[in-house]
Homo-oligomer: A and B are copies of this chain.
Amino acid sequence: MTLVLNDDDVAQVLTMKDCIAALEDAFREMGLGGVMNAPRRDSFMLASRPDAYYSFKTMEGGLESLGVVAQRINSDLITHPLIGGVTRRVKVPAAPGKRYVGLVFLYSSETLELLAIITDGHLQRMRVAGSTGVGVKYLARKDSCSAALLGSGWQAETAAWALASVRPITTIKVFSPNPEHRKSFAEKVGADLGIEVIPVEGAQEAVIGADIVATATNSAGAVVKGEWIEKGVHLTSIRVHELDEEAWRRSDLITFSGSGGPGAYFTYATQGFEASHRETERQGERAQLEDERFQRYRGKIHLLCDLLTDKVPQRTTPSQITLMNKNWGLGIEFASVAKLINDRARAAGIGKEIPTEWFSQTSHP
């Protein structure tokens, strides 16, 4: 049977602790060479709405130890509205019922079959935060008990879960531009985790005194200044620009979750297609900034998978500043988390079943 799982199913069976453990195993296997990783690729096409364009995103990865391969796709309609003077990238919920379409397909590398189809909403935010968690586990001081969180959205919530899963966090100071958002976020996450979550009025106020500084924003510019950072802090960002140049310069040890920079991103745009061009430029800027910083600080930058397999040193002193750049997603992250979800859901009898034979054939294709 092929299992079909939605975001609610995933939320029922996936804990952050298990998600981090699965990702840790996957990154270790990556360090040992037993994985397949095909980088993200985005393709664009015009849509009938003149202010939007269609984007199809795909990436694949597999783990030999688990015998699975996952492919994650996103079928998106994208706009670039001007919000508060800044051009934002906004996905339109154009699917019936005002919904989004993002799916993870899990295949067995032994029986070849399609094991599961999983909507990628909750999985995605668990995966990103889970990898942040792996970085925190290997780079942050063991006694880290306070954290700063920049951002109060959907991704920031799981980031808080991840921090609390791997370190004895008692206090999180959260800042985001909207006072209402950060207040309700603090109440919800504080109650969920049973720790103190305090909304503060500025990024600097959040960062000062924190053992761990995590960013999970949609900001177009830097939200953390390196001059605020104290000795011994662990920094963790999702997009490279969230931490300013000084933060990178001051860091003693920097880790990338994947190999980023130009080359990890391909686009095949239609001719003279402005929106696609804008998107390509935007992603290109991200890749370029990452590459510039990579070139400048390459002597202290290592891959997470090499850290986990003792090829490069982890934190050596309590005073080091460490940084993890949770950059471009990897197929193996989806493979490991999807496999975990699939196994747990089957054990719990959760999800909708489709005969696997619907997705195979007797003919040799």
- A13 close to B (CB within 8 Å): no
Q: Quick check: B357 and A354 within 8 Å, CB to CB?
A: no
Give per-residue flags for A253-285: 1 if the beta carbon is below 8 A from chain B beta carbons, else 0: 000000000000010111110000000000000
Q: Quick check: A362 and B109 within 8 Å, CB to CB?
A: no
Q: Quick check: A112 and B98 within 8 Å, CB to CB?
A: no
Q: Quick check: B41 and A36 within 8 Å, CB to CB?
A: no
Task: Among B38, B54, B121, point to the contact of A62 (Cβ < 8 A).
Answer: B54
Q: A45-B109, A361-B6 are in contact. Are A103 and B96 (CB under 8 A)?
A: no
Q: A60-B56, A352-B358 are in contact. Are A268 and B45 (CB under 8 A)?
A: no
- A250 close to B (CB within 8 Å): no
- A15 close to B (CB within 8 Å): no
- A228 close to B (CB within 8 Å): no
In chain B, what residue has the closest Cβ to A362?
Answer: B99
Task: Among B33, B58, B120, B365, point to the contact of A271 (Cβ < 8 A).
Answer: B33
- A34 close to B (CB within 8 Å): yes
Q: How distant is the Cα of A120 from the Cα of B111 in the complex, in angstroms? A: 18
Chain B residues in 8 Å Cβ range of A269:
36
Give per-residue flags for A27-59: 1 if the beta carbon is below 8 A from chain B beta carbons, else 0: 000000111111101011111100000101010
Q: How distant is the Cα of A72 from the Cα of B332 in the complex, in angstroms? A: 20
Q: Quick check: B111 and A96 within 8 Å, CB to CB?
A: yes
Chain B residues in 8 Å Cβ range of A93:
362, 364
- A291 close to B (CB within 8 Å): no
Q: Quick check: B103 and A114 within 8 Å, CB to CB?
A: yes
Chain B residues in 8 Å Cβ range of A352:
358
Stretch at the interface among A73-81, A161-169, A206-214: A73-81
- A227 close to B (CB within 8 Å): no
Q: How distant is the Cα of A287 from the Cα of B3 in the complex, in angstroms? A: 38
**A77-109 interface (Cβ within 8 A of B):** 77, 91, 93-103, 105, 107-109
Task: Among B33, B39, B43, B122, point to the contact of A363 (Cβ < 8 A).
Answer: B122
Give the distance to chain B from A165, nearest Cβ to Cβ, in Å: 21
Chain B residues in 8 Å Cβ range of A33:
270-272
- A4 close to B (CB within 8 Å): yes
Task: Among B34, B46, B73, B103, point to the contact of A64 (Cβ < 8 A).
Answer: B46
Task: Among B41, B43, B124, B365, point to the contact of A102 (Cβ < 8 A).
Answer: B365
Q: Quick check: B7 and A121 within 8 Å, CB to CB?
A: no
Q: Quick check: B270 and A364 within 8 Å, CB to CB?
A: no
Give the distance to chain B from A22, nearest Cβ to Cβ, in Å: 18
Q: Quick check: B4 and A64 within 8 Å, CB to CB?
A: no
Q: Quick check: B361 and A110 within 8 Å, CB to CB?
A: no
Give the interface of A toward B (CB within 8 A): 4, 6-7, 33-39, 41, 43-48, 54, 56, 58, 60, 62, 64, 67, 69, 71, 73-77, 91, 93-103, 105, 107-114, 117, 119-122, 124, 154, 266, 268-272, 352, 354, 356-365
Can you offer 10 A-B residue contacts whose CB atoms are under 8 A? A6-B358, A35-B270, A36-B45, A37-B43, A38-B268, A75-B107, A95-B111, A101-B112, A120-B361, A122-B363
A100-B361, A101-B360 provided; 5 other pairs, C-beta below 8 A? A69-B75, A102-B361, A119-B360, A119-B361, A121-B362
